[in-house]
Amino acid sequence: MWGLPAALLLIGALSYERNGRLRKVEFLRHIGDASYAIYLSHLITIAFCKYIFDETGLETGNASLSQQLSLFAGVLSPAWLGNGMLLRTRQTIPG
C-alpha cells in the first residue's frame, strides 16, 4: 500500500540532493554527530559512573548523573575528538 509512494518520495529526495538544491542545516548535522557520539560513548560513561558510585558509596539507583554525563560527552566529544584527530593527522601526514 505504501511502497510506491515511499519509493517516489525517496527518488524525489535523492534527485533533489543530487542536483545540489538541498540546503545544509548545520544545527541538524551537529545533532546527528552528537547522537552518534552518545551512541558510542554511553556504555563507557555508564561504566565510569558505576565505578564512581562504587568507590564513593553513593546510591547507584539514581541514573540521572549517568544520563547527564552521557549527553555532555556526546555533545562535546565530536568537537574534541574530531578536531584532535584532524590536527594529529595533519601533523603526521605531510602535505
Pick the more confident residue, 94 or 66. 66
Q: 7: which 3 cell numbers? A: 519509493
Check the CA dihedral 27-86-76-61 and report its sign.
Answer: positive
Q: Return the domain boundaries, the chain.
A: 27-92
Helix pair 26-56, 64-92: axis angle to 10 deg: 120
Q: Which tens digit of pLDDT belongs to each residue from 27-85?
A: 888 888 888 888 877 788 888 888 888 888 877 666 777 778 778 877 877 776 666 66
Measured torsion, CA atoms of residues 53, 54, 60, 63, in degrees rounded to the nearest 10: 40
pLDDT beyond 60 at 95: no
* Side-chain half-sphere CA neighbours of 87 within 13 A: 6
- Give the residue-averaged pLDDT of 8-23: 82
